[in-house]
Amino acid sequence: MAHIHIERDHHFSKAKARKIAFQWAEQVENEFDMACTYEEGDDEDLVSFSRSGVKGTLRVCARRFELDAQLGILLGAFKGRIESEIVKNLDELMAAHPAAKTAPAGATKAAPKSRKKPAA
């Protein structure tokens, strides 16, 4: 059996990370005929996926996506191609949802300039 392990760090909110994982699950269901289940948790969510010759999970953590998959003997021969397709799909979904921009630590927002009223 061939094993695939992919990790992608992210800076998304829990809701946005969850949305990306839902979209990923829908994509693999439609494109690769996977059966997916989604379990929401307090600390992390878990997408389980399977089809003949493939089974695995996508963990949605606070700051990371972690995918683990086991490929059967026949699909193991295509591990490189399958792994690159998974990476491409996940990276495209993450890029389509830019994380909220945050100011560097210690930075403060400048106060608006006060405007003087013209003399009457």
Q: Cα(19)–Cα(96) distance, rounded to whole angstroms?
A: 11
Q: Cα(39)–Cα(65) distance, rounded to whole angstroms?
A: 14
Look up residue 11 and give its DSSP letter: -
Note the pLDDT of residue 1: 82
Q: What is the pLDDT of residues 35-91, one digit of tens each?
A: 999 999 999 999 999 999 999 999 999 999 999 999 999 999 999 999 998 999 999
Q: State the pTM of this model.
A: 0.77
Are 17 and 10 contacting, i.e. CB atoms less than 8 angstroms apart? yes
Are 60 and 17 contacting, i.e. CB atoms less than 8 angstroms apart? yes
CATH C-level class of 2-95: alpha beta
